[in-house]
Amino acid sequence: MSAVDRAIAARILAALDLTSLGEDDTPEAIERLCAAAAEGGHPAAVCVYPEHITTARRTLELEHAGEVAIATVVNFPDGGNDIARMLRETRRALAAGADEIDIVFPWRAYLGGDREGGALMLQECKSICGRKILKVILETGELGDPLLIREISFAALGAGADFIKTSTGKAKIGATPAAARTMLECIRERGGRAGFKAAGGVRTLIDAGRYLALADEIVGAGWATPARFRIGASSLLAELRAVIA
102 is catalytic: yes
Show the beta-strand stretches assigned E in 81-238.
100-104, 133-137, 163-165, 195-199, 229-233
165 is known as an active-site residue: yes
Catalytic pick from 99, 102, 162, 207? Answer: 102
Dist. CA 203–CA 240, nearest whole Å: 11
Q: Exactly one of 17, 126, 197, 207 is catalytic; which is it?
A: 197
Round to whole Å and give the CA distance between 211 and 198: 7
Q: Which residues of 30-65 are buried (b: 16+ CB within 10 A; e: fewer)?
A: bbebbebbbeeebbbbbbbbbebbebbbebbeebeb
Long-range CB pairs of 144-152 (<8 Å, 24+ gap) are 146/178, 146/179, 146/182, 148/111, 149/179, 149/182, 149/183, 150/182, 150/185, 150/186, 152/105, 152/107, 152/110, 152/118
- Which member of 126, 132, 165, 207 is catalytic? 165
- Give strand ranges (E) for 93-158: 100-104, 133-137
Residue 197 annotated in active site: yes
Q: Kindly list the catalytic residues.
A: 102, 165, 197
